[in-house]
Amino acid sequence: MTSAEGSFVVFTPSGKRGRFHEDSSLLDAARSLGVDLDSVCGGRGICGRCQVVVAEGEFAKHGITSRADHLTPLSEPEARYRERSGLAPDRRLGCHARVTGDLVIDVPPESQLHRQVVRKEADAHPIDVDPVLRLRYVEVREPELADATGDLQRLIEALDRDWKLTGLSADPHVLASLQQTLRSGGWTATVAVHDDSTIVAVWPGFHDVALGVALDVGSTTVAGHLCDLHTGEVIASAGAMNPQIRFGEDLMSRVSYVMMHPGAETELTSAVRGCVDGLLAELCEGAGVDPTDVLELTLVGNPIMHHLFLGLDPTELGGAPFALATDEAVHRTARELGLTAPNAGARVYVLPCIAGHVGADTAGVILSEAPHDQRSVNLIVDVGTNAEIVLGNRDRLLAASSPTGPAFEGAQISCGQRAAPGAIERVRIDRDTLEPRFRVIGDERWSDEPGFDATGVTGVAGSGIIEAIAELFLAGAIASDGVIDGSLAARTHRIEADGRTFSYVLHDVRGAPRLVISQNDVRQIQLAKGALYAGCRLLMDALGVDTVDRIRLAGAFGAHIDPLYALALGLVPDCDVDGVTSAGNAAGTGARIALLNRGARDEIEGVVRRVEKLETAVEPRFQEHFVGAMGLPHATDPFPRLRAAIDLPAPREAAAGDRPRRRRRRVDEPERSSS
Amino acid sequence: MTSAEGSFVVFTPSGKRGRFHEDSSLLDAARSLGVDLDSVCGGRGICGRCQVVVAEGEFAKHGITSRADHLTPLSEPEARYRERSGLAPDRRLGCHARVTGDLVIDVPPESQLHRQVVRKEADAHPIDVDPVLRLRYVEVREPELADATGDLQRLIEALDRDWKLTGLSADPHVLASLQQTLRSGGWTATVAVHDDSTIVAVWPGFHDVALGVALDVGSTTVAGHLCDLHTGEVIASAGAMNPQIRFGEDLMSRVSYVMMHPGAETELTSAVRGCVDGLLAELCEGAGVDPTDVLELTLVGNPIMHHLFLGLDPTELGGAPFALATDEAVHRTARELGLTAPNAGARVYVLPCIAGHVGADTAGVILSEAPHDQRSVNLIVDVGTNAEIVLGNRDRLLAASSPTGPAFEGAQISCGQRAAPGAIERVRIDRDTLEPRFRVIGDERWSDEPGFDATGVTGVAGSGIIEAIAELFLAGAIASDGVIDGSLAARTHRIEADGRTFSYVLHDVRGAPRLVISQNDVRQIQLAKGALYAGCRLLMDALGVDTVDRIRLAGAFGAHIDPLYALALGLVPDCDVDGVTSAGNAAGTGARIALLNRGARDEIEGVVRRVEKLETAVEPRFQEHFVGAMGLPHATDPFPRLRAAIDLPAPREAAAGDRPRRRRRRVDEPERSSS
């Protein structure tokens, strides 16, 4: 009951509490206590963001009885909102329900301004939704003959009065449409305010949709994730081929193209910007949303894609000292970057590059994986044409890029192809007969299951090549020095002579390409995995550790490969098998975090400055490690943790019968992961 | 001589002095004393801006002997500078001449960072040259493999180190060309820094030209003044017709055009921007300078031109409450405004509008005339299609716009034309015979002088109409109520019947248009001058004054009209004739001040906020004054100061013989002023 000091109100789940007099709205009460209760319309009963529920009953802990009728009866604006937008019977609008007695008020998650959005990846902490862009509803003073204050200044005055936003400025395009907007909204408007400092868009009346897109601009594909900036949810994701491919498959051939055709960087820039612009339009069309509601974009990419997207000549990144044009985060408007699909006031935040070889994509990986927050030592590898490697924890963080080449992506492999439907992604080889079975992207069946279409197989993806070579190694058909054992040709047609070396026939049916793992294919993988391993060891030497606690495999390659095979082939240093996991599309997730949480931008900018950069090209120990890592890990190699999980073959040329004696752990059928 | 405490050095003209040890350069010494000594290259002997002269001799006042050899001998960089750029024999570079004994050092005006530039107008204070844009020469650290710091960050680091500029950011176009610029300059560069905060342009090596253009965008003409931002001097001026004229001669017809053709404001915007862009290119070409050295622009204009240039719909300015889109100064990049001629990083500063009818042009007038700095009460009128009126002093400042219509510009006058070659600008009429003599723009001769080409007369400019009517009034041919005395037709063919009224034939020769001042023409001028006078009186009422100390006539009209005639016709309130002067193109001068002096921007923004705006349309006293001011000032009107200078006719219908008895002061032939 109301006491002389007012009624007692407790908010859950925060537990914040206080006494309030009769004229207090629940929104006012929440704000005065610092309870996280949302509002876009500023308490005018329009936005419905401040919905709360009265928890009815006796609350002995607080010594009160909470009842629904301890609030003023349903107000006119609440009734209107219920009519227009729907309002559950037990819900009230915090801005119009006033306290008349003791209450326990529950603030549901969707009414919290600072909500969290759960990530798909296992053991990833949720993202706190606190975007740099906010919508603010205001009522603007009408112009008067006696007062020459401009429309813009009266808008800014209203934002100061109602939202305590001071020193605001406005994007030029806002000024151009402001007069019309304010008048058509009857002097009410919703304003998109960027970073509490710039008005980037204005709508007449009330508007409650603000969208953002996190972009991951890769050499091969460009991916975009359309997000609701209020809920933090991903509304739609889409990808497109990077049209720069016509200037060169890999990054270095694109840089060469620019070097040989001065000024061509503008062509490459137009190509990738056009691709992103189209992707933005497609994302919005597919999701049925208005592209002018897209107000915020974040972008990650490797240094060369970063430079080309920003219109910077990447030539300097093609050779030592690999100088970046800028190593800080870049802020642009979408229009400055030639993006026409989003709102004319949309802002683009490009995460910082770490070094000439370690880009904003790696900054995204760090933001997503947050090794700098952890006590345990994390090794994160993002394998593409180069492998970016990050090692460390809260005390120190090191990064390097290792020149693995494109073998892990299926390039320079005779039967290789990009990960796409029809590509073999999983391989199992019988230890005795050397007969394979496999699975292709786009089909959940194994090749020995009924209904599998053997003629639909088009090639072998990077993960399939890794698995095939690892399986052949574990079956003894490939020795620890990488040589395919030709003597087995006598026993099975799967091994066949190929000039002076031997090959393994993985797939050979009429109507489909003949897929063969050649000796050269094995060599390419050995070179790539040697480079990756050497890069990891170089960072471990620099950090002064012999083992790591956790290995995270980022990117598409990391998502497709079975961690056990990565270990078995010696791609990464020895680790508990359970400690090696996929980080998913960590770079893209990092872009999404920077999109949804403004603090994450300061965070990654600070971390990037602290990262110690190693340049593999000039570290003598890299060469040493590289040479030492060319062979496949065998039973006497220092891989105690791997050996705890799996029997490794003996060193040197394995004869046909040199199969592992006993498998301590079966290589389980991996969970199918979507391509 | 050098004492234990070092040598005694006195700088003139500042008189600042101190003791310095042998290793002090004169530049260091000057800086430590706060002596205003310029340097762009940061003391590297490249720019030559720190030139000084040793004053030799005994200086009893300071107790020292100053000698040229009290400086270290000519250094290698000084010799190189002398060779390359010329250096007078008595001059030294302050950055390389070091103190070895007592000295008196003169800093010549051109070596002062904060110099002054003298204005053409009489009694105008000089402009302190302290532009918002400065050039800074730096040597940038080269990139290293071991350090991932970007090119931009190393440039910013050098600007911080050498110029104490912190927190700089860079224009996007700067980043795009930075890599190439730094490398081609051998890691030296000159940086244009705007407002100590933004890098807007970078040149390889040393660059010492920075230009700006002050723009006065009028309804009829667009004028530009190309200035050297270092010396403050005007390099070239040029004008162009505003191509918006095809959408309507006067402003309101352009606003009507937009109202009737929604979206047409973009056409009008393109037209005026294109005109300005062309003018900028023309100015640079004419002056033989590189347009990419144009880095800073300022702009004034009436509210409608201001809005149209900025791409804002002017419709709201066409009717009450005349709401401005913005009443604050506007900052844009030249590119945002579609200006392609200047440097891609050039900035545009648009002075603030004061009210819906009193624009940035009036802000320019205030900045130029500085009534807010004065004790005396100033009345400033800027006559165009509307008349902008400013009244006040350091205590209070008021402004209004008065709807004079275009009559003062020669429009709506039967024989009127714009001020252009061939237009009559000066008129004298014989008090007895009513025979006229006149002068046309573009010819220094009077019409009664030998060689005058009577067939080259095309019409009458606004100032010519004012003078003709005033002369007819003083000759008694027009009564104080404005009626042309038809009885004079009996005495001279110059007065002729024209229906029920009479006209005065000003010019009638074969081969030229017949130029006649009709009764309606007199009425148009009476309406216009009544509105102007009423506006002035309204402000005087509001300020509570009956007389003003000074009247300044701004703009082209003010430059052409003889102040005495302005008074005699009653355009402005009574004033000592000597107190009425032309302010020249004050709006354009205001733009030039804002271009050359950064502090002037804060100044005018502050003053504009303090100006009290009166809206003539809704002030009942305006109508009263207007009706009362339709007549011409006669001998019993309250114009004591005018009457002290000139005999005024008696009131009421003047008969033919009612001529002034005696002229106390001859109306002197005015100085020819260029058209």
> Which whole number is the average pLDDT over B218-236?
94
Measured in angstroms, the CA of B208 and the nearest CA of chain A are apart by 25
Q: Does B327 touch chain A (CB under 8 A)?
A: yes
Q: Does A260 touch chain B (CB under 8 A)?
A: no
- What pLDDT shows up at residue B171? 96
- What pLDDT shows up at residue B650? 80
Nearest to A179 among B145, B316, B322 (CB): B316
pLDDT over threshold 60, residue B437:
yes
- pLDDT tens, A305-350? 999 999 999 999 998 899 999 999 999 999 999 999 999 999 999 9
pLDDT over threshold 90, residue A640:
no
CB contact (8 A) between residue A175 and residue B325: yes
- pLDDT tens, B16-66? 999 999 889 999 999 999 998 998 898 899 999 999 999 999 999 999 999
| ipTM entry | 0.88
Q: Does A448 touch chain B (CB under 8 A)?
A: no
Bridge partners of A439, per DSSP, are A426
pLDDT over threshold 80, residue B119:
no
Best of B141, B175, B362, B613 to disrupt the A interface (most A CBs within 10 Å) is B175
Find, in chain B, the residue whose alpha carbon is nearest to that of A176: B312
In which band, very low, low, confident or very high, does the pLDDT at B109 lie, cut at 50, 70 and 90?
confident
Best of B142, B144, B152 to disrupt the A interface (most A CBs within 10 Å) is B152
Q: Which two tokens stand for residue B662?
A: 């005696």
- By CB atoms closer than 10 A (0-12, 13-18, 19+), residue B86 is exposed
Q: Does B360 touch chain A (CB under 8 A)?
A: no
- What pLDDT shows up at residue B122? 59
In which band, very low, low, confident or very high, does the pLDDT at A123 lie, cut at 50, 70 and 90?
low
> Which whole number is the average pLDDT over B273-300?
97
pLDDT over threshold 50, residue B1:
no
Residues from chain B that touch A317, judged by Cβ atoms under 8 A, are: none
In the numeric block, the tokens 């040890």 are attached to: B21
- What pLDDT shows up at residue A659? 42
CB contact (8 A) between residue B320 and residue A145: yes
pLDDT over threshold 70, residue A663:
no
Q: What is the mean pLDDT of chain B?
A: 91
- What pLDDT shows up at residue B648? 83
- pLDDT tens, A254-301? 888 988 998 888 999 999 999 999 999 999 999 999 999 999 999 999
CB contact (8 A) between residue B179 and residue A313: yes
Sheet with A495-498: list strands edge to edge: A495-498, A501-507, A515-517
Residues from chain B that touch A148, judged by Cβ atoms under 8 A, are: 324, 327, 353-356, 358, 613
CB contact (8 A) between residue A316 and residue B355: no
The percent of residues above 90 in pLDDT, for chain B, comes to 75
Residues from chain A that touch B146, judged by Cβ atoms under 8 A, are: 615
The vertex-A38 CA angle with A35 and A43, nearest 5°, equals 105
In which band, very low, low, confident or very high, does the pLDDT at A5 lie, cut at 50, 70 and 90?
confident
Q: Which two tokens stand for residue A277?
A: 């612009």
- pLDDT tens, A563-604? 889 998 999 999 999 999 999 899 999 999 999 999 999 999
- pLDDT tens, B162-216? 999 999 999 999 999 999 999 999 999 999 999 999 999 999 999 999 999 999 9
Nearest to B151 among A180, A323, A618 (CB): A323
CB contact (8 A) between residue B312 and residue A176: yes
Phi-psi region of A232 (alpha: psi -120 to 50; beta: other; left: phi over 0): left
Best of A266, A326, A401 to disrupt the B interface (most B CBs within 10 Å) is A326
- Burial state string for A128-154 with b = 16 or more CB within 10 A and e = fewer than 16: bbbbbbbbbbbbbbebeeeebbbbbbb
CB contact (8 A) between residue A153 and residue B328: yes
Count of C-beta atoms within a 10 Å radius of residue B499: 8
- What pLDDT shows up at residue A122? 59
> Which whole number is the average pLDDT over A192-208?
97
- pLDDT tens, B362-402? 999 999 999 999 999 999 999 877 899 999 999 999 999 99
Q: How far apart are the first and last CA of chain A?
A: 61
In the numeric block, the tokens 């190393």 are attached to: B154
3-class secondary-structure state, position A509: coil
Nearest to A143 among B145, B149, B321 (CB): B321
Higher pLDDT: B675 or A126? It is: A126
- What pLDDT shows up at residue B673? 39
Q: Does A176 touch chain B (CB under 8 A)?
A: yes
Nearest to A324 among B150, B313, B336 (CB): B150
The percent of residues above 70 in pLDDT, for chain A, comes to 95
Residues from chain B that touch A327, judged by Cβ atoms under 8 A, are: 148-150, 153
- pLDDT tens, B552-568? 999 877 888 888 899 98
pLDDT over threshold 80, residue B672:
no
- pLDDT tens, A504-538? 999 999 999 999 999 999 999 999 999 999 999 99
- pLDDT tens, B581-593? 999 899 999 999 9
Measured in angstroms, the CA of B310 and the nearest CA of chain A are apart by 8
Strands, E, within B26-164: which ranges?
A: 51-54, 57-59, 64-66, 91-93, 103-106, 116-117, 127-128, 133-139
Count of C-beta atoms within a 10 Å radius of residue B328: 18
CB contact (8 A) between residue B324 and residue A355: no
- Tell me which residue of A502, A473, A508 sits closest to A490, measured CA to CA: A502
Best of B141, B145, B330 to disrupt the A interface (most A CBs within 10 Å) is B145
Q: Which of A334-338, A440-444, B115-119, B511-515 is the least confident region?
A: B115-119
Q: Does A4 touch chain B (CB under 8 A)?
A: no
Q: Does A85 touch chain B (CB under 8 A)?
A: no
Residues from chain A that touch B355, judged by Cβ atoms under 8 A, are: 148
Residues from chain A that touch B327, judged by Cβ atoms under 8 A, are: 148-150, 153
> Which whole number is the average pLDDT over B401-410?
86
Find, in chain B, the residue whose alpha carbon is nearest to that of A262: B180
CB contact set of A490 (below 8 Å; sequence gap of 6+): none
Q: Does B328 touch chain A (CB under 8 A)?
A: yes
Q: Does B119 touch chain A (CB under 8 A)?
A: no
Q: What is the mean pLDDT of chain A?
A: 91
Task: Compute the Cα dihedral for B568, B570, B574, B576 and give only its sign.
Answer: negative
In which band, very low, low, confident or very high, does the pLDDT at B643 lie, cut at 50, 70 and 90?
confident
Task: Name the H helices within A195-288.
Answer: 251-260, 265-287
- What pLDDT shows up at residue B651? 75
- What pLDDT shows up at residue A672? 39
**CA A384 – CA A553 distance, rounded (Å):** 11
In which band, very low, low, confident or very high, does the pLDDT at A652 lie, cut at 50, 70 and 90?
low
In which band, very low, low, confident or very high, does the pLDDT at A121 lie, cut at 50, 70 and 90?
low
Q: Does A332 touch chain B (CB under 8 A)?
A: yes
> Which whole number is the average pLDDT over B120-144?
89
pLDDT over threshold 90, residue B349:
yes
- What pLDDT shows up at residue B250? 79
Find, in chain A, the residue whose alpha carbon is nearest to that of B180: A313
Residue A669 carries which DSSP code? P
Residues from chain B that touch A145, judged by Cβ atoms under 8 A, are: 320-322, 615, 617-618
CB contact (8 A) between residue A321 and residue B143: yes
**CA A600 – CA A71 distance, rounded (Å):** 39
Higher pLDDT: A42 or A217? It is: A217
Measured in angstroms, the CA of B393 and the nearest CA of chain A are apart by 21
CB contact (8 A) between residue B328 and residue A618: no
Higher pLDDT: B235 or B120? It is: B235
